[in-house]
Structure 1
């Protein structure tokens, strides 16, 4: 089985982090390929960068889809899954859907902890489009962009924990690929379930392939 994971930003350290976490979630025999767009915005904040990055993501999907059994889009709040599904011909999963989907199996309401304040309306709009906002208690920002989340790891973990402690939801979803891998530490600190949507999406992708979906 081969799963293609596309990180919509062009921060190399974030792509490497996603590769590490996604590969760890793969079952024996599953190959995980992680990439990011060849061009476009390096960091995604507001709608401008998000929409411009979608073209690069679709280009990557189109050029690398051959031989992929499933595709994971590893940007939280970014559009494009529907268009990628048209191109791919295999299951395409968006971490924006996978994280809340699992969170709703763990609790009544969930809180998304995301990167910057600019990302909050982007995430809120995408959750609304996906009809996932009904059980979303709130979207909270850490104030940290992707470069800080991946480049200042200890500080980032501390900030994510502090924000997650304020969550009104009984489950927390990490709403940024740059937070991949932080779920165990955050869950231990806040005493509530925490969903990391990157490994969640990889696990769900493998399940869909095995079920022949």
Structure 2
């Protein structure tokens, strides 16, 4: 039997968070954490709707079996609470590429180093364990805050895909595509680590 590119279970541990493989037992706590509509403004899915939420996370589990996705829950180490979710998807082992997305974190941790720490854990795993050539990230073309955040961590803008996704309300969205390549990883890692230090210093002062 062929070995999976992303071995299961894969847990990524940082200073403040652990990224743990999504399981059905997480669904209820995760859904409760996802109750704020603001969390879903960047994602073309309304995770505050129980049916939509469960369908999407059930799909993520089934897609893990076929190596199309690898979903994580984000656990805050100090409180042991689930504070969000993220995942690998658009996984192409033969081309050594994948996408990081479906990321949301509860408002309590907005403006902290948590999201940066998650990205550092995910990207480190991609480039140093999986030996990816390319990691893709995308967001709504008019989401300037998110686009700037991707650029700050070393994401290189590649273009806009028009009407890239149909959202839950039936409207379409354009997507701004970014990537980080293997030969850009060292510079990106240094940027992320510097941003984490900056955030943590400003929160302490």
Same fold (TM over 0.5): no
Structure with the largest fraction of strand: 2
Which of the pair has more CA radius of gyration?
Answer: 2
TM-score normalised per structure 1 = 0.29
Q: With CA pairs under 8 Å and 6+ residues apart, which has the higher RCO, 1 or 2?
A: 1
Structure with the largest fraction of helix: 1
